[in-house]
Amino acid sequence: MTVTTLPTRDSLLERFAPVFARIADGAVDREQHRTLPHEQVRWLADAGFTAVTVPVAAGGAGASASDLFTLLIRLAEADSNIPQLLRAHFAFVEELLLDPDVVRRDEWFTRIAAGEVFGNASHERSTAAVGSLSTHIVPDGDGWRLHGQKHYSTGTIFADWTTVTAQTPDGHTVGVTVRVDDPDVEVHDDWNGFGQRLTGSGTTTFDGVRVELWQLRPERAERRTVLPAFLQTVLLASLAGVGAAAARDAAAFVRSRTRHYQHGVGRTAASDPLVQSVVGRIASDAVAAEALVLNAAAAIDTAHDAIVDGEDGPELDAVIDAAELRTIAVQGTVVEVVLRATTTLFEVGGASATDRDRALDRHWRNARTLSSHNPVVFQQRVIGDHLVNGAPLTYFWATGETR
């Protein structure tokens, strides 16, 4: 019998620390010049990071969700754009891990282990009603043609493949996986948000892209799933990394500061107990955010394992609900403490902390932008309705025009 030894979390952190450090070295320069991290994504793929949750037998590292989120926090500390732009990629891997179709799963795992990267093209800015899509596929001989336009195509501009949601002529929603370098695919870097500016969350157009049957993913049954919690926790890990970066930069700024105020308590900023306390508060918020994220990740691990082990019925529903509830519950607090940390960062110094060359403002801008995804106000209402009235948690939701 062959025994597969999985890597420990510490060994994974040690393995990827050099590439994370390399990414961190150029983060401020990329931010200042709006340089998309194409090269950095390729470094990660070449290092095996994009296959870290692929099973060892399929060429990956066999990392758990908790392992992944720990790594994503450290990657976000280096550059918070990169975990978010890889969000669809890791969600695609998670979906494959839970896919009972072994042949399909292993075919895609082979591509991922070879370094191929996946992006996202799900959301639209069209005037379609909530729950409907203007992107559609139509039959074409023994295949299909994909037509439409997607916005917020996070990660696609860096990817080999993008995962698209589309409607069939009879109104069903399907997943379609297409090559980004297909001549009938156009990707634009027109994301105009003030934060997370390097995620490539722009527009992707599909002008009659040829789709073979094997590129279609069957419509998911509308039942409980761990994927919404997984997707949300990637954003939370990115936020926790921003908090850690704010703590790091606060301490570095104070250590290097030679100017101080006459009415300060210490002779220098570094020796001033008031400034020290500010840095301590930022660090406390960062540590709290990371602990909350990993608490949610543990619940996702439990739900993932239950699905893989073939559990079903009320027992499975309970562990999936627990993962979803845990994730949306910690979201509000992670958002609160990271936004506080990235604002408090500017209390460690005077106006010099706002110097554009330091780019300290990127931490707040990135945190605010990440926090605006899946707004907390709606998540907390769902929690309250569930706890008070027993209402089901919301696993399937969409945006669009109200009619």
Cα–Cα dist 123/132, whole Å: 11
With residues binned 3-state (H G I as helix, E B as strand, rest as coil), the percentages for the chain, rounded to 5, are 55, 10, 35
pTM of the model: 0.95
Convert the pLDDT of each residue in 279-337 to its tens digit.
Answer: 999 999 999 999 999 999 999 999 999 999 999 999 999 999 999 999 999 999 999 99
Cα–Cα dist 290/23, whole Å: 20
Q: Helices 87-97 and 227-256: crossing angle, nearest 10°?
A: 140
Specify whether the CB–CB gap between 185 and 149 falls below 8 A: no
| Domains (range + CATH), the chain | 9-116 (1.10.540.10), 121-217 (2.40.110.10), 227-389 (1.20.140.10)
Can you give the pLDDT at residue 262?
Answer: 72
Q: 10 Å Cβ neighbour count for 129?
A: 12
Convert the pLDDT of each residue in 148-204 to its tens digit.
Answer: 999 999 999 999 999 999 999 998 899 999 999 999 999 999 999 999 999 999 999
DSSP state of 310: T
Convert the pLDDT of each residue in 86-137 to its tens digit.
Answer: 999 999 999 999 998 899 999 999 999 999 999 999 988 765 666 678 999 9
Q: 10 Å Cβ neighbour count for 137?
A: 24
Specify whether the CB–CB gap between 118 and 163 falls below 8 A: yes
CA 304 to chain centre: 18
What residues are paired with 119 via a beta bridge? 162
Tokens read off for 33? 């010049």
